[in-house]
Amino acid sequence: MTAFLVIDVGTTGLRAAVVDESLHILTYEHRPCPPSSPAPGLVEFDAVDMASKVLDAAQVAIARFGSPIDAVGITNQRASVVVWDRETGEPIGPGLGWQDLRTVMECIMAKAGHGWALAPNQSATKLQWLLANTPGAADRDLCAGTVDSWIAWTLSRGELHVSDHTNSSATTSGLRNIDSSGWRTDILDAFGLPASMLPTVVDSAGIVGRASALPGAPPIAALIGDQQASLIGQGCVRPGRAKITFGTGGMLDVVTDGGAPDAAHRHDNGTYPLPVWSIGGELGWGVEGIMLSAGTNVEWLRDDLGLIDTPAESHDIAAQCDDSGGVVYVPALLGLGTPSWDYGARGTLLGLTRGTERTHVVRAVLEGVAHRGADLVEAAAADTGTDIDSIRVDGGMSRNPTFVQALADATGRSISVAPVVESTTIGAAFLAGLGIGAWNRLEDIESLWSPAHVVEPRATAHRDAARLTWRDALERAGGWFPELSALDF
């Protein structure tokens, strides 16, 4: 049996899974690894603790499997960064999470002074901040990288300092040429970032070295960002194929049929271009759209309002009514991403009456997230000129029948639910197998993917009216904090 170990490092936890050649998960280990927030807007993580938990989870997963591993794949949260000493392997400061906002002012200044559209969630200004706030950093031999680089370094015992195109792209790092052909020397020079500290950029699939810290020292054969891994894991490898991951936030990715984009900035409808894989020296391209809060809204129902006891109960409660009774909820707890990118928008509950009940509010929250999913689909279709005829979904909310039906109704498209919640693991396992020759072509993933079930939109004459009502609600939710709404990265 051919078996692959996947290291999947998310925002709040990490997983190690052994996956077979049929892409079935055989063993699975999870370790919590939540970030900390020492002050509002700051998101940090302990890179040493992350590395220790990766090794522990991987070793336990391999031991439970009981046989040698043929290859290792790494998939991870993107844009989060670590800077460490090349000689000692010790980080020089905290890891800075992708959600960290401490460099908002640096991004504003970069745009005003140079015209560079850098966002605080990208890596560029995070690296600048770490070097500027570490005494003596300029005199040390340092390595810098996203989480894939840090984990590859850990698994190889310091032999590898690499990253793939999906993690180092202009969209993720802000430091790469738009076609991912090299680093932006103008930004490196202006920020005082030596090119020597940056990783070697490699293909998403292909052997790059050995995981000598693991039993048998299996080859590391895949590196890929989490959303791109989910795209591949759901068999979306042809133009027009799209997926949405509904986790804490919501991320739509769709494969396009063109080459590299000519600019890194967002398209007219709020999606942005990015590489979705690199194989054999060739890059695949797509666009991405973001919903800043998805599952967060269900957590709000549970943790703050006390309307449900578990996320799964949101389905049970919402299913007790046929509709939301005219209540509309805009899930803008953290602002709105694609298409409007309004950081000053806020969550809005409209249409309340004396007859509004718990069931109506819970259903309205699920339907609001579904309408935001429809916004992403419409934006991606408009920006790419692609007819997206169906959507594949994964993430925790993909297990909620009421939500998935609402998504089908709002989009007017069939929804294929992934067989596993975390398709990132499947995508990274497939790429690792592709990297060692277990499969010959990227397209082989299509025959290995099968949905758990497919949900069709209900025939309704009310969809257009519902979408008009939704757009009115969106307008009312926007601009609540004008100073934040004015920000544009």
146-164 tens-digit pLDDT:
999 999 999 999 999 999 9
What region, left, alpha or beta, does residue 23 occupy, with left being phi > 0 and alpha being psi -120 to 50 degrees? left
41-90 tens-digit pLDDT:
899 999 999 999 999 999 999 999 999 999 999 999 999 999 999 999 99
2-46 tens-digit pLDDT:
999 999 999 989 999 999 999 999 999 999 999 999 998 899 999
193-229 tens-digit pLDDT:
999 999 999 999 999 999 999 999 999 999 999 999 9
Identify the CA nearest to 131 among candidates 75, 80, 82, 171: 82
pLDDT score, position 459: 75
State pTM to two decimals: 0.95
pLDDT score, position 241: 96
Domains of the chain and CATH, by start: 3-228 (3.30.420.40), 236-417+459-489 (3.30.420.40)
pLDDT score, position 489: 83
Banded pLDDT at 259 (limits 50, 70, 90) = confident
User: Considering the chain, what is the average pLDDT of its residues?
Assistant: 96
| Integer Cα distance of 322 and 242 in angstroms | 29
Average pLDDT over residues 253-260: 90
Omega of the bond leading into 239 within 30 degrees of 0 (cis): no
Average pLDDT over residues 400-427: 97
Strands (E), 378-471: 390-394, 414-417, 453-455
Q: Which helix (H) or strand (E) segment is 285 a member of? A: strand 282-291
Identity of the residue numbered 188: L
Q: Considering the chain, what percentage of its residues have pLDDT values greater than 70?
A: 100
424-455 tens-digit pLDDT:
999 999 999 999 999 999 999 999 999 999 99
289-342 tens-digit pLDDT:
999 999 999 999 999 999 999 999 999 999 999 999 999 999 999 999 999 999
The answer to whether the beta carbons of residues 295 and 395 sit under 8 Å apart is yes
Q: Which two tokens stand for residue 188?
A: 């490196």
pLDDT score, position 451: 97
